[in-house]
Chains A and B, each alone.
Chain A
């Protein structure tokens, strides 16, 4: 073994009624890697994100992050560890501006004292301007024109840029682990390709960011990931590089049916 794993999942189980959404899932993820999480619809990918981020509790098993047990922590505590995510269906605050939405990602580093916010307006304004500059730079990495529209409400921003805003919101606090839930959903293949370029570029700049990527677009998985975990009915079906899992007969069967 090289570096100790950043994320380590052991026997993770989650039931919804009689359905096992996660059935004894186990895998390790080393720091600085990109892991692709793939599998047919309903195989438990998003459930894994929800359990990891404390949205839905696990019924069994354990998750360790950087050596600490983090199973069933509340979402806020998971965020404080440096784990952020995007959502499968966009969860931006539509009436708020682009800046407001990205700034929410920095929530835990913002000064929320009543006196500070009421009285120390100049300091607040300085903080705001510093953060706006950071947000502008981050957004410009993805889409320079979008960086000029920070004061516009998200409701008027096209879908692809909303996805970028969501990724920026997850990145602005410089997380250690980024969870991306189908970033290419609803995009053309050209848009998807650009999105992946941007993301790899961001990763180069952020150094050792570790990413778990849920994706149905196999081209993306092939190009962007170091390793893949294939899920089916909540169980790990296969694990390895993309070429390895793509050649696995079990994976073919899960996707295409017994043939």
Chain B
């Protein structure tokens, strides 16, 4: 009787092929961008990428493709994995490019931790780099002084970050908005100072970190498979992808579960949530701790990959980069983070011309996004079902 009113499924599901197409286009652009040597070529490809995105948006193709990608997450994940594998194959002996890719994955994972906090629980964290650093330093110390297997070291890095984060819980729960942000800023700055004056942790000079090894297999040796020389970073890219993939899948599952619903309620209206029995502090603590754990694991692997860490890598400025990735990607959409991490990590490395001004440009970019597309490059998606139901 009311067909006009009842139109929940009037929009048909976009096909999974859209996800594949989008991933293929992304991989192709990424390949061109990473392969380009001269600054002019890099600039041209960046310009082409921007033009292509704008044109696709104009034609409505972007909307269609991104809907297809977001509605068929498994296909999207598989397509991205395939794209990444092809990129790794193409750059199999190029240390620098592979390092960049691994860094995109680990920075993406660190920001995924922030996504759990800010995007899901509504808990601000301007000390992302500090928690990343806690994971890094934990890995450095444990790998150098204990025989703990390295997979457990990664977990310990996450656990240490979560534990250190609990110091902030009390002030965070008692403050709101700007004040809560200030609490985390103070912590981030204090953490770096602590590292600089702490000789046991290498002081300002920092620490060397042993490379990751699994079952006696060192990740820091180049392998050659059938005359095919593989950079040792290939292993780190693979492990980084595995970790990010697991964390990502877990976060997405939580988002489409009763946990995600409770966190949404806490973030959007604490008073109404409390009236229906939601214990907001419990959920904020959960989101903050889980987020720090994910960020800490990323930090631990990052330290073992780069082989050297120093307080300079864990500054407030670096925390702001993490936050800007979350803003750029779209608060509340984990897929946007991956895209934003790629842009923020790779573009300044390839475009040497802007390297010096990268923070200025990030700032401008974030302001532009906030003005013209406030919900980020990939806005938060509506939750349509729980437990994988559509």
Q: Which residues of A contact B (CB under 8 A)?
A: 53-55, 74-76, 78-80, 84-85, 87, 91-97, 100, 103-105, 107-108, 110-112, 114, 117-118, 121-129, 144-145, 148-153, 169, 173
Is there a chain A Cβ closer than 8 Å to B356's Cβ?
no
CA distance A92 to B5 in the complex (A): 21
Whether A105 pairs with B276 at a CB distance below 8 angstroms is yes
Whether A79 pairs with B8 at a CB distance below 8 angstroms is no
Whether B389 pairs with A108 at a CB distance below 8 angstroms is no
Whether A96 pairs with B6 at a CB distance below 8 angstroms is no
B2 neighbours in A (Cβ, 8 Å): 144-145, 148
Size class of the contact patch on chain B: 35 or more
Contact A76 to B278, CB < 8 A, known contacts A127-B387, A128-B387: yes
B276 neighbours in A (Cβ, 8 Å): 79, 84, 104-105, 107-108, 169, 173
Q: Other CB < 8 Å A-B pairs besides A78-B275, A149-B7, 10 of them?
A: A55-B271, A75-B275, A80-B277, A87-B272, A87-B275, A121-B388, A144-B2, A149-B6, A151-B382, A173-B276
CA distance A112 to B276 in the complex (A): 14
A-facing residues in B333-390 (Cβ within 8 Å) = 380, 382-389
Whether B383 pairs with A117 at a CB distance below 8 angstroms is no
CB within 8 A of B275: which of A84, A124, A126?
A84
CA distance A229 to B386 in the complex (A): 44
* Contact code string B1-39 (vs A, CB < 8 Å = 1, else 0): 010011111000000000000000000000000000000
Whether A97 pairs with B279 at a CB distance below 8 angstroms is no
Whether B385 pairs with A117 at a CB distance below 8 angstroms is no
Whether B387 pairs with A118 at a CB distance below 8 angstroms is no
B269 neighbours in A (Cβ, 8 Å): 91, 93
Is there a chain A Cβ closer than 8 Å to B262's Cβ?
yes
Whether B277 pairs with A111 at a CB distance below 8 angstroms is no
Contact A96 to B264, CB < 8 A, known contacts A118-B253, A122-B387, A148-B5: yes
Whether A128 pairs with B385 at a CB distance below 8 angstroms is yes
Closest Cβ of chain A: how far from B344's Cβ, in Å? Answer: 26
Whether B259 pairs with A97 at a CB distance below 8 angstroms is no
Closest Cβ of chain A: how far from B113's Cβ, in Å? Answer: 16
> What is the chain A residue whose CB lies nearest that of B249?
A118
Central interface residue in B2, B259, B279, by most chain A CB within 10 Å: B259
Contact A91 to B271, CB < 8 A, known contacts A127-B387, A148-B6: yes
CA distance A105 to B274 in the complex (A): 10
Whether B275 pairs with A150 at a CB distance below 8 angstroms is no
Whether B258 pairs with A111 at a CB distance below 8 angstroms is yes
CA distance A55 to B276 in the complex (A): 12
A-facing residues in B126-182 (Cβ within 8 Å) = none
Closest Cβ of chain A: how far from B384's Cβ, in Å? Answer: 5
B258 neighbours in A (Cβ, 8 Å): 110-112, 117, 124, 127
Closest Cβ of chain A: how far from B150's Cβ, in Å? Answer: 24
B259 neighbours in A (Cβ, 8 Å): 112, 114, 117
> What is the chain A residue whose CB lies nearest that of B254?
A117
Central interface residue in A107, A127, A173, by most chain B CB within 10 Å: A107
CA distance A128 to B260 in the complex (A): 13
Contacts A/B (CB < 8 Å), 9 sampled: A53-B275, A54-B274, A110-B258, A121-B253, A124-B386, A125-B385, A127-B387, A151-B9, A169-B276
CA distance A76 to B262 in the complex (A): 13
> What is the chain A residue whose CB lies nearest that of B2?
A145
B312 neighbours in A (Cβ, 8 Å): none
Central interface residue in A55, A93, A117, by most chain B CB within 10 Å: A117
Contact A125 to B265, CB < 8 A, known contacts A76-B279, A105-B276, A108-B277: no
A76 neighbours in B (Cβ, 8 Å): 274, 277-279
Central interface residue in A103, A104, A145, by most chain B CB within 10 Å: A104
A145 neighbours in B (Cβ, 8 Å): 2, 5-6
Is there a chain A Cβ closer than 8 Å to B257's Cβ?
yes
Closest Cβ of chain A: how far from B381's Cβ, in Å? Answer: 10
Is there a chain A Cβ closer than 8 Å to B273's Cβ?
yes
Is there a chain A Cβ closer than 8 Å to B250's Cβ?
yes
> What is the chain A residue whose CB lies nearest that of B265?
A104
B261 neighbours in A (Cβ, 8 Å): 96, 100, 103-104, 107, 110
Closest Cβ of chain B: how far from A79's Cβ, in Å? Answer: 4
10 A-B pairs with the lowest CB-CB distances in the bound complex, closest first: A125-B387, A124-B387, A148-B6, A117-B257, A128-B386, A108-B277, A75-B274, A91-B272, A79-B277, A93-B268
Whether A152 pairs with B262 at a CB distance below 8 angstroms is no
CB within 8 A of A93: which of B253, B265, B275, B387?
B265
CA distance A243 to B261 in the complex (A): 45
A74 neighbours in B (Cβ, 8 Å): 274
